[in-house]
Amino acid sequence: MNTSSVEKKFVYLAVIFGMIIMVLTPPFQAPDENNHFKKAYVISKGNMFPEEQEGKAGFYLPEKMVQYIEEQNSKAGNLEEKYEFKDIYMMERLPAGYDNMKFYNFSTASQNPLGHCVQAMGIIIGQAFAHILAVDDPSVVYQLYFARFFNLLFYVAVIAISIRLTPILKKTFATIALMPMALFQAATVSYDPVLISLAFLATSLIFNIAFNEEVRQMELKHLILLGGIAYVFYAVKIVYLPLLFLLLIVPKEKWGDKKEILKKLGVIVMTFVIIFLIFIVLTPRLELIKDNSSVLAHEQMLYVIRHPINYLITFFYTLIHTRQFLIATTIGTFGLIDTNLYCVFLGAYLFILTLIGISEISLNDRRINLRKRLVIFVSVSAPIFGCFLAMYIYWTSTREGFGVGASEITGVQGRYFIPVMPAIFLFFTNQILQRNDKIKKRMKLLVDNSELVVIVMLCMSAIALLLRFWC
């Protein structure tokens, strides 16, 4: 296996198919793209933090722009809704005419701006190019595609660095990052690609420190980078913070003595604290009115604390009852969560991805003791458990038909698990499979040709998008 070419192949496939997905996905036909774009747009205008009106946090946005966004978003679930190229073409090229501004409260208004800076940079570059391209008063569609394109570029660049950096599971990293769902997210406006790519980067960095024999000690740059990633997780989606427990698999000799350990942990913590304090100073304090959803979330939290066994039963019931939806939204669900790949492709990709991961880690021949396996299990399972808990408290409690003490968790999608997926396969490291020469040969054949599986799945995804939205 030529590992030096893995990141190159990833870049080629990610850029080509990412661009195809970006073009085939109509405006605002991706999960929460409407609210993510609004946040990126106001950041591009220099408005990093929300203001308050009538007890609600929000921003001033062009009224016509918001009307178009919400009109597109209202098409969720209508599989008969089709698009024509000429409509989107004209919408992109015609002057926007955004004169009237109105105050809007939306779900990402109070979100830390770090999650949307990449998309905002795309919009800024797009606005600069508007002068060169003679696009006067650029429309929302024009700016949307620049935001999507920069999201894709950031995702591809960071994942490629991660693949180059990790000494193990290179093909597995690439196969997961090229999953239709992951690439669909990367080619639309969302903070998920930022979180996925940074999680891959953190995982690969820890793997490099732990398993690369050329790395003798943790370096200052490693610690600062991990501290920065930790803050992004905290600020954007805190459930991913436990992924950094993977640091506990780093051998003791690379940590140094007790004083060195404290110094190194101190650098990570100090990096986190400095960024935290910067945002505390910059973020304005708003006097917001607590709405009914906040009250329900508090009640739901108390319910979980008082009835932990009942919650665990609810958690496992939801895992089993919604497993088909979770698998679909991990591997390939497009549009506004209303267009799944055929089950045969979902099942095949899940099965082959598992084989690729287990085969590659077996060929890598890494020994992991029981304590480190426990660390890996906690690092992976804690974010997954956290996703369910967060959605149970903040989402399920407010949904009609569910509410406080509901017997099922709603709102969890499989795409939330993608950031932790590379670390899962480290748990299955073994020396047993490669002892058999025939099995070892077949494992190597599968890993070396994993790109073929990826290409087939991405072709099927492009066809699905084409049939869903355009034919």
pLDDT in tens, 239-282: 999 999 999 999 988 888 888 899 999 999 999 999 999 999 99
Mean pLDDT of 1-22: 88
- Cβ-contact 368, 428 below 8 angstroms: no
| Among 42, 165, 195, residue whose Cα is nearest residue 113 | 42
Minimum mean pLDDT range among 4-18, 63-77, 146-160, 296-310: 63-77
Tokens of 458: 């991405």
* CA 182/CA 177 separation, integer angstroms: 6
- The top-scoring range by mean pLDDT among 125-134, 194-203, 248-257, 437-446 is 194-203
Q: What pTM does this model have?
A: 0.94
- The top-scoring range by mean pLDDT among 48-57, 90-99, 349-358 is 349-358
The one-letter code for the residue type at 194 is V
Determine what percent of the chain is predicted with pLDDT higher than 90.
Answer: 75
Q: Confidence class of residue 213 from pLDDT cuts 50, 70 and 90?
A: confident
Residue 285 has pLDDT above 90, yes or no: no
What does the CA dihedral 85, 87, 89, 90 come to, rounded to 10 degrees? 160
Minimum mean pLDDT range among 72-86, 326-340, 399-413: 72-86
Q: What is the DSSP letter of 342?
A: P
Q: Confidence class of residue 330 from pLDDT cuts 50, 70 and 90?
A: very high
Mean pLDDT of 425-447: 87
Domain that holds residue 376: 3-469
**Residue 147: partners with Cβ closer than 8 Å, 6 or more residues away:** 37, 40, 119, 120, 122, 123, 126, 189
- The end-to-end CA distance of the chain, in Å, is 40
CB atoms closer than 10 angstroms to residue 458 = 23
pLDDT at 377: 95
Q: Confidence class of residue 1 from pLDDT cuts 50, 70 and 90?
A: very low
Mean pLDDT of 299-305: 96
| Among 234, 164, 224, 162, residue whose Cα is nearest residue 198 | 162
Number of domains observed in the structure of the chain = 1
Sign, CA torsion 55/60/64/70:
negative
Mean pLDDT of 40-67: 92
pLDDT averaged over every residue in the chain: 92
- Cβ-contact 182, 196 below 8 angstroms: yes
- The top-scoring range by mean pLDDT among 4-8, 137-141, 196-200, 367-371 is 196-200
pLDDT at 3: 53
* CA 136/CA 92 separation, integer angstroms: 11
- Chain-centroid distance of CA 122 in Å reads 18
Q: Where are the alpha helices (DSSP H) in 332-403?
A: 343-364, 370-394
Cα atoms found within 13 Å of the Cα of residue 234, Cβ hemisphere only = 14
**Residue 184: partners with Cβ closer than 8 Å, 6 or more residues away:** 21, 25, 30, 332, 334, 461
pLDDT at 159: 98
Mean pLDDT of 47-58: 90
Q: Confidence class of residue 429 from pLDDT cuts 50, 70 and 90?
A: confident
Q: Confidence class of residue 154 from pLDDT cuts 50, 70 and 90?
A: very high
The one-letter code for the residue type at 49 is F
pLDDT at 274: 96
* CA 37/CA 50 separation, integer angstroms: 15
DSSP-derived 3-state class of residue 103: strand
pLDDT at 4: 60
Determine what percent of the chain is predicted with pLDDT higher than 70.
Answer: 99
Minimum mean pLDDT range among 240-249, 285-294, 457-466: 285-294
Mean pLDDT of 53-65: 90
pLDDT at 99: 81
* CA 79/CA 464 separation, integer angstroms: 12
Q: Confidence class of residue 2 from pLDDT cuts 50, 70 and 90?
A: low
- Which pairs with CB-CB distance under 8 Å and at least 24 residues apart come from 324-330? 325/413, 325/414, 326/412, 326/413, 326/414, 326/417, 327/414, 328/414, 329/181, 329/413, 329/414, 329/415, 330/179, 330/181, 330/414, 330/415, 330/417, 330/418
Mean pLDDT of 161-166: 96
Tokens of 462: 């492009």
Count Cβ atoms within 10 A of the Cβ of residue 320 and give its class: 0-12 exposed, 13-18 middle, 19 or more buried.
exposed
For tokens 């998008």, name the residue.
465
Tell me the CA distances in angstroms from 77 to 25, 31, 83, 144, one per residue in order: 15, 12, 15, 22
Mean pLDDT of 46-53: 91
Length of the chain: 471
